[in-house]
Amino acid sequence: MLKTSIGIFDSGLGGLSVMKAIRKELPGENLIYFGDCQYAPYGDRSQAFITNRVLAITDFLMNQRIKALVFACNTATMMSIAEVRKRLKIPVIGIEPAIKPAIKESQTGCIGVMATTRTIQSSRFSWLIEQFVQKGSRVIPQACPGLADAVESGQNNEPHTKELIKKYTLPFIENHCDRIVLGCTHYPLLTDQILEVFPPETVKLIDPSDAVARQLKRRLIEIQGLSSNSVGSESFWISGLTDRTKVAVEQLWGTPIVVQNANIFSVLENLPNQVSSNGRSFDSNPF
Ligand code: DGL
């Protein structure tokens, strides 16, 4: 059977921001989205837990005969993409905080990064900083627990979400950051709320979704896997689907769609579930 679709996944609804960019760049491709809402957010969970979920989701999508896989989740990319790349023969595209372009564009030499605890604590994140931040420029990393939950539960405009955004972005204002990297795919869905805190002329938000879509296109061209259709299809799978999530997916996608429930099981028992207090002792990889 021919492999005709692109698999895209996130811990929940945030990855829809990436899927939209992919749809814009590649109108003829068939897209299959998986949101692991039952286990969202991933941002404060252990590496073992996240990798376990990612492998289960990958199996689910591979069974749908995908020709490429997109991690529409920074946290999962940081924690698990290496393991998945070892196992799959198809192109696997990840997303990570766009530190390089932000530093390049910044006039003040100071950029802020909003991401999950897991992403900020990852070795890949430290590597990105070492790699792209030269003398004279600075990065202010900010873990933002609570923001992905707010998006998942449709509380973008609630006062406590706005308070969290104010608290998390205060160090950016104090340090005159003029670029803020959205290092979690849920945060582009909070663009209006983030910009309420800053006068728009003082800051630009950097979202790497378009770059991910272009990279996917390059990889499809490389494997001669681009669809020749002019219009592609979409299907949406959510774990632990509720009526509220159904409505949220439809609102975020912007057109009437069918959203299906997919309970995917993984070996979650005996896995450390949360980030340890020093953020380190979780790192034993069970695979
Ligand atoms: N959307 C995800 C990311 O890009 C993760 C959010 C979460 O589940 O904590 O990191």
pLDDT at residue 273, as a whole number: 52
Question: Over 80: is that where the pLDDT of 267 sits?
Answer: no
DSSP SS3 for 165: helix
Which residue among 152, 179, 206 closes a domain? 206
Tell me the sheet residues that pair with 10: 35
Angstrom distance (rounded) from CA 206 to CA 36: 25
- Are 48 and 271 in contact, with CB atoms under 8 Å apart? yes
136 lies in some domain: yes
How many domains would you assign to the chain?
Answer: 2
Instruction: Examine the domain organization and report whether 121 and 30 are in the same domain.
Output: no
CA-wise closest residue to 112 among 186, 170, 161: 170
pLDDT by residue (tens digit) across 180-189?
A: 999 999 999 9
* Mutational test site, ligand 1, from 51, 113, 116, 182, max ligand atoms within 8 Å of CB: 116
- 37, 144, 177, 184: the catalytic one is 184
Q: What is the mean pLDDT of the chain?
A: 91
Atom of ligand 1 nearest to the CA of 75: 10
Task: State the average pLDDT over residues 60-77.
Answer: 97
CATH of the domain at 186: 3.40.50.1860
Instruction: Examine the domain organization and report whether 192 and 119 are in the same domain.
Output: yes
Name the residue with the closest Cα to ligand 1, atom 2. Answer: 73
pLDDT at residue 268, as a whole number: 54
Catalytic (active site) residue 177: no
Of 1-10, 139-148, 157-166, give the lowest mean pLDDT range. Answer: 1-10
Name the residue with the closest Cα to ligand 1, atom 9. Answer: 43
* HSE-up of residue 197 (Cα within 13 Å, Cβ side): 25
Which two structure tokens, joined as six digits, stand for 82? 């290496």
Question: Over 90: is that where the pLDDT of 15 sits?
Answer: yes
Instruction: Examine the domain organization and report whether 277 and 232 are in the same domain.
Output: yes
Instruction: Examine the domain organization and report whether 127 and 221 are in the same domain.
Output: no
Q: 36 C-alpha vs ligand 1 centroid, how far in Å?
A: 10
265 lies in some domain: yes
Q: Which run of H or E residues covers position 204?
A: strand 204-206
The percent of residues above 70 in pLDDT, for the chain, comes to 92
pLDDT at residue 274, as a whole number: 47
* Domain extent at residue 161: 99-206
Instruction: Examine the domain organization and report whether 17 and 80 are in the same domain.
Output: yes
Instruction: Examine the domain organization and report whether 140 and 85 are in the same domain.
Output: no
* Mutational test site, ligand 1, from 8, 10, 238, max ligand atoms within 8 Å of CB: 10
Q: 204 C-alpha vs ligand 1 centroid, how far in Å?
A: 21
Which two structure tokens, joined as six digits, stand for 101? 């372009």
pLDDT by residue (tens digit) across 28-67?
A: 999 999 999 999 999 989 999 999 999 999 999 999 999 9
232 lies in some domain: yes
pTM: 0.91
Question: Over 90: is that where the pLDDT of 221 sits?
Answer: yes
Which two structure tokens, joined as six digits, stand for 98? 């766009």
Per-residue confidence band for 198, with pLDDT thresholds at 50, 70 and 90? confident
Q: Which run of H or E residues covers position 113?
A: strand 110-115
Per-residue confidence band for 1, with pLDDT thresholds at 50, 70 and 90? low
286 lies in some domain: no
Which residue among 147, 179, 206 closes a domain? 206
- 37, 73, 110, 177: the catalytic one is 73
- Please, where are the H alpha helices in the chain? 16-25, 47-62, 74-87, 99-105, 117-121, 123-132, 147-152, 159-174, 191-197, 209-222, 243-253
287 lies in some domain: no
Which residue among 185, 206, 227 closes a domain? 206
Angle at 96 between CA 263 and CA 130, to 5 degrees: 145
Instruction: Examine the domain organization and report whether 150 and 125 are in the same domain.
Output: yes
Atom of ligand 1 nearest to the CA of 78: 10
Instruction: Examine the domain organization and report whether 124 and 261 are in the same domain.
Output: no
pLDDT at residue 193, as a whole number: 96
What are the strands of the beta sheet with 110-115, ordered from one edge? 138-143, 110-115, 179-182, 204-206
Per DSSP, 202 falls in state G
Question: Over 90: is that where the pLDDT of 279 sits?
Answer: no
Using CB distances shorter than 6 Å, the residues near ligand 1 are 10-12, 14, 40-43, 73-75, 116, 119, 148, 184-186
Angstrom distance (rounded) from CA 273 to CA 117: 14
DSSP SS3 for 110: strand
176 lies in some domain: yes
Catalytic (active site) residue 184: yes
